Homo-oligomer: A and B are copies of this chain.
């Protein structure tokens, strides 16, 4: 059954909710117009595709998504990933660039929806916090660099840091000065508004809401200003790149026809876009939901974002997801339900219908400036410091992700980040913590002989293992027992104390068999103690307990008492 979470809020929809939602929708629409155009530019697509990706996807998410305030549409990182994926395919495969982007949205949407329907939301858990952070920071750097060509008005391209730099630097000789003027003006204007306008307006006595509204409208002001300048000064003739003619009207609704070869080539990029987009979106949704006590259902979120992407593909758009800054603005502006998103979609539709002729003279440098200012917040080095101090494995994962993304592009970046974090996790559990334990005098407690004053017996070796036993640490366990036994020549009994062993897999069971055989050949008896219930259940389904030379004791103390007496 496909659920429609929109029923909940539709049933209790009231007039005052409508007013709140309308105000939020107006603010988000004003914010979304430049963003949608800019991210289409970033993805290498015609401007109108940005608008198309901001109409139906919002409606689809409003119906199927679980967050009431998430604002869906084109976002920076996913647009960069789209540019990379589509660039590769259209270079080699001979398909139209725009068709490939639409197909990517369709495939990505289908994967999201399938993962959601199969309740496979857990796969996103493999994207660890350091990997996502490192990836976002690296993407922010790549995005900002990729937009510098529009600021300088030169030809350059590339999907990695070395490629971007080696393409951009030699091209700087051909800089177009009017373009650079527009670009720098936009950058300074936007950055100035972002850092100073809000506080200034508040000092003037405006409410926080009004100040936010005006601040968030800065990109629209930049667009209006630079469009007027470009028109009035006839900058097109001086070589300033303009957005140009945008088809007027709503997107035609169509089912994309795709070839199996294209689907195969786009499969991996679509999956990565789906996963990264989902992780980003859910983290925004969760944060906002927590503030109002609304719960996000990850599997239903997958379906909601899947529907949004399929809707984007069906209406000529490209991959979308929940945007961070836009959703926060939507929330702060008072949006109560997804009706705000539906009204935003109407706002963008009206823009597509009536405002596109006005965008003819909009300089691309202005859009590039809005992108650069927006992604500068993505670049965050604190995670490196934090990881460095906290855990070397996490630092390794974030560094590998950053370096690989910058050096080899977004796809290899994500893949190597995930691989590294899994490998480091396994490496950690491969050499589990253990302790040789003895009795704390006059108690039944057992502690590490190296840290506490404890009593041990000459004929007993008690080893406590602080990790589940599985294939990756099975060999370690064998070596551990053999080397500890070799250190204690008078040992007659080895007791493995297992209170922190949450599972024993077949490889570890094989190792226990081997240890039992090895010790038996040396006239030493292997025992287990404090085996947890589920682990004991599993052992009883094997032949191990029949072959175990010693016993399984419920309490370690009982084992030591019995064996010390012998």
Name A's B-contacting residues (CB within 8 A): 122, 124-131, 286, 290-291, 293, 295, 298, 386-387, 389-391, 393-394, 421-422, 425-433, 466-468, 470-476, 482, 499-500, 502-503, 505-507, 509-510, 514, 517-518, 521-522, 532, 534, 538, 541-542
Question: What B residues does A534 contact at CB under 8 A?
Answer: 433
- In the complex the two chains form, what is the Cα distance from A517 to B287 in whole Å? 10
Q: Which of B127, B394, B427, B499 contacts A505 (CB 8 A)?
A: B394
Question: What B residues does A387 contact at CB under 8 A?
Answer: 506
- In the complex the two chains form, what is the Cα distance from A517 to B290 in whole Å? 9
Establish whether residues B474 and A510, one from each chain, have CB atoms under 8 Å apart when the complex forms: no
Q: What's the least CB distance linking A536 to chain B, in Å?
A: 13
Besides the known contacts A128-B507, A286-B514, 13 further A-B residue pairs in the complex with CB atoms under 8 A apart: A122-B430, A122-B475, A125-B430, A125-B475, A125-B476, A126-B471, A129-B506, A291-B521, A393-B505, A425-B505, A429-B468, A467-B468, A499-B500
Q: Which of B432, B509, B538, B541 contacts A502 (CB 8 A)?
A: B432
A interface, over-half SS: helix
Q: What's the least CB distance linking A542 to chain B, in Å?
A: 5
Question: What B residues does A131 contact at CB under 8 A?
Answer: 471
Q: What's the least CB distance linking A541 to chain B, in Å?
A: 5
Establish whether residues A128 and B290, one from each chain, have CB atoms under 8 Å apart when the complex forms: no
Question: What B residues does A130 contact at CB under 8 A?
Answer: 506-507
Q: Which of B425, B467, B471, B514 contacts A421 (CB 8 A)?
A: B471
- In the complex the two chains form, what is the Cα distance from A76 to B393 in whole Å? 39
Question: What B residues does A394 contact at CB under 8 A?
Answer: 505-507
Closest residue of chain B to A289, judged by CB? B518
Q: Which of B286, B390, B421 contacts A509 (CB 8 A)?
A: B390
Closest residue of chain B to A393, judged by CB? B505
Question: What B residues does A129 contact at CB under 8 A?
Answer: 471, 474, 506-507, 510
Q: Which of B125, B427, B431, B470 contacts A474 (CB 8 A)?
A: B125
- In the complex the two chains form, what is the Cα distance from A92 to B454 in whole Å? 67
Question: What B residues does A426 contact at CB under 8 A?
Answer: 126, 422, 425
Q: What's the least CB distance linking A422 to chain B, in Å?
A: 7
Q: Which of A390, A432, A473, A521 gathers the greatest number of chain B CB atoms within 10 Å?
A: A390
Closest residue of chain B to A539, judged by CB? B390
Question: What B residues does A467 contact at CB under 8 A?
Answer: 468, 502
- In the complex the two chains form, what is the Cα distance from A342 to B298 in whole Å? 63
CB contact under 8 A between A503 and B428, given known A538-B390, A541-B390? yes
Q: What's the least CB distance linking A124 to chain B, in Å?
A: 8
- In the complex the two chains form, what is the Cα distance from A431 to B125 in whole Å? 11
Q: List 28 A-B contacts (CB under 8 A).
A: A122-B427, A122-B430, A122-B431, A124-B475, A125-B476, A126-B471, A126-B472, A127-B471, A128-B507, A129-B506, A290-B521, A293-B522, A298-B475, A387-B506, A390-B509, A390-B538, A391-B538, A393-B505, A394-B506, A394-B507, A421-B471, A422-B422, A422-B426, A425-B426, A425-B470, A429-B468, A467-B502, A499-B499
Question: What B residues does A291 contact at CB under 8 A?
Answer: 521
Question: What B residues does A476 contact at CB under 8 A?
Answer: 125
CB contact under 8 A between A502 and B393, given known A290-B521, A295-B482, A471-B126? no
